[in-house]
Structure 1
Amino acid sequence: MSTDESRFEADPDELLPDLPGLPTGWTVDVPDPGDRFTLARLTHLLRAHERHGRGWAGSGVDDVLVEVSEAGLRTRQNVVVRDRTGEVQAWGSVHDRAGGRMLFVHIVSRELPEGLARTCSDVLVEWAVGQARTVGAARGLEVQQIDTGAFADDDRQHRWLEAGGFTKVRTWWQMKRPVTPDEAGLVPSTEFWESEKARFRTVRRGADGLPDVDDLREVHEVLESAFLDHFNSWEETFDEFESRLREDPGHRWDHWWLAEVTESGEPVPVGALIGTASESATGPDGSYVSYIGVLEEARGRGVAKGLLNTIIADAASRGRDRVTLEVDADSSTGADGLYVALGWKISYVTESWHRDVPVTDET
């Protein structure tokens, strides 16, 4: 199979021939990313899902387009459940994230009665299981993991995932730190600065404005190595890594940093941080730490603290009012201690739910 071809099944009828349990006249199809009414409805469903789960909505149409646009269809597939009037009442999205790991977005209208909403959930899960077998077979796997998430306070989602064969495996703290304008001076320069033990810089840019590929590969290699011993770490190729991050609506090349130490007179990458812009429709924008990793042999040298201070200073210099990040609440590494010491506090809590699907099991 060409790397430019999707590993997913594009026709939902192949995976859901009987539309189990749906009322007469309800249908399942693939959403059209060019249909503005469908995009608006998916955005509404996503925002309602967020408001119910954590009290406020942060996503917009750009976040929906990451999942459904034609640009992402090499690694993603989507399905929607429509009522007899054609209104979308449920939406599922799968992402072939890395070998063995498939992400699953699972959203059902909050306006439906419990029984009908549960039926829609079951349809989405059955479709996702079929997609897991399809993508797992294309990758030559015996078992394909489905990785989905839920807000910690969303009891409805928890019930449905458990009924769908998923198990809660991890808890995550979503943390926020306020940023003040004076913190722009927290480091000498967000593009390049040095401490006693390391130096920090953005990835190099060529005359055409594009980043240096060697630097991008260094970031990828540092993060792959730094996360080897972390929960649910799956090897991701450089092409998968770069393509996925570029799809993020908040992607900015000048939000990628490397930390280096000098060995035998040469700079050696030991840490990396990838940030994104978090836009707000009602106030100042923020920055988000998508990834931060430090090689094991370089830990304890202030590398992580230096990278975090750099993105704080960068956010302040751009007039942003916060930096947010996610931390593994179940990890024994103690990383949360550094975040708390630098001013981060828990904003809300999410969970990871997994189901392992035998690829050859057709029952």
Structure 2
Amino acid sequence: MQIRAAMMNDLTALTELFQAIELVEIGRAETNKADIRHILITPELDLERRSCVYEKDGDIIGFAALHFAPHADQFRAHLGVSPVAPDSLADALLRQIEEWAQKQTATAGRERESVTLFQMPQALATPALQDHGWHVVRRYSRLIIDLNGERPSLLQLPAGTEIRIAACDDDRRRLHAVLEEALSGHWNHHRRTFEEFWADQQQRDGHDPSLWWIAEVEGTPAAVLIARSQPNRGWIAWLGTEQRYRGRGLARCLLLTAFAELKARGHHMVGVDVDSANDTNATGVYEAAGMRVLGQADQWQRDINIS
């Protein structure tokens, strides 16, 4: 086998790798090129130093990468092992991820750090993950909506309520403030300044400030949504409602507004990933707007200790 760093030219081959894994694990291929491109262009990922692919007879049969997670003070890893790869490959890739994480943790002068990665429930890599001391900390659901199908009608907004685009810097700062308050209770949320948040959003695939919306109640920002127009699909990146304004249908109205705009831009499908254990019933909010659960993924975690 040949081992080398991953490259943008691997986009098609890596997509085929993850689709082959999904066909065995869940019976259908979900990953598309936009998903893989999102990984490869992650601003925090140094492809040359912290990614690798294993090739055999010209085909990629294994992939691993490590970078700082965009929303939290931890590492995010990516792992893909072909169903036809030898059993030892998952072990080798996990050892590489852990070695990268140890070096980065030591370089940062920390004694302990955590790494997370996502795998389908009952993933082929589960035995290797367990052998290496990883454990499941959360389960996420992916929901989608077919924009060509029938969708719930837009709710009548209460008097004094308005939905508008966050059209200027001040608006985007207000949007960020609402999002921070709405997400403050999430188990893995770490506060960021607006400047940090804005710099991160500008790097994201499909970034477009004209897809940032604010729902205001009596002139006060109450709920917000950020969508992205990615290749082959629309995506809901962020959605949040301040606690005191929940239960008024603002999130659903924002979603339906986003769906209408994304359909007008030529999209036929919109997706979102949601924490299945979210205590605000986020999955129910998306389902009320016409989305359905397509599948789930487990978030695995391993603590890295520097002795």
TM-score by length of 2: 0.84
Query: Cα RMSD between the aligned structures?
Result: 3.1
* 2:130 matched residue in structure 1: 162
* 1:272 matched residue in structure 2: 224
CA distance in 2, matches of 1:293, 1:40: 34
Structure 1 residue 273, shift from structure 2 partner: 0.8
CA distance in 2, matches of 1:291, 1:200: 16
Larger Rg: 1
* 1:288 matched residue in structure 2: 235
* 2:104 matched residue in structure 1: 135
Tell me the matched-pair count: 305
User: Cα distance 1:341–1:79, how it changes in 2: closer, same or farther (>3 A)?
Assistant: closer
Gaps (5+ residues) in structure 2? none
Instruction: Tell me the amino acid that sits aligned with residue 300 of structure 2.
Output: W
Aligned 8 A contact 2:54 2:63 in 1:
no
CA distance in 2, matches of 1:148, 1:261: 39
Aligned residue for 2:136, secondary structure, equals: strand
Structure 1 residue 340, shift from structure 2 partner: 2.8
* 1:109 matched residue in structure 2: 82
* 1:221 matched residue in structure 2: 177
Aligned residue for 2:133, secondary structure, equals: coil
CA distance in 1, matches of 2:183, 2:279: 14
Corresponding position: 1:42 with 2:42: no
Structure 1 residue 149, shift from structure 2 partner: 0.6
> How big is each residue's C-alpha offset from its partner over 1:227-281, in whole Å with a ceiling of 9 and x where there is no partner?
111122233444543344334333332221122233xxxx33222111123543x
Give identity over the alignment, percent. Answer: 24
User: Cα distance 1:77–1:186, how it changes in 2: closer, same or farther (>3 A)?
Assistant: farther
Corresponding position: 1:201 with 2:201: no
Aligned residue for 2:229, secondary structure, equals: strand
Aligned residue for 1:333, secondary structure, equals: coil
Instruction: Tell me the amino acid that sits aligned with residue 36 of structure 2.
Output: V
Corresponding position: 1:322 with 2:269: yes
Corresponding position: 1:242 with 2:198: yes
* 1:349 matched residue in structure 2: 296
CA distance in 1, matches of 2:290, 2:43: 38
Aligned 8 A contact 2:4 2:52 in 1:
yes
Aligned residue for 2:240, secondary structure, equals: strand
Structure 1 residue 146, shift from structure 2 partner: 0.8
Corresponding position: 1:64 with 2:32: no
CA distance in 1, matches of 2:270, 2:57: 43
CA distance in 2, matches of 1:244, 1:75: 18
Aligned residue for 2:304, secondary structure, equals: strand
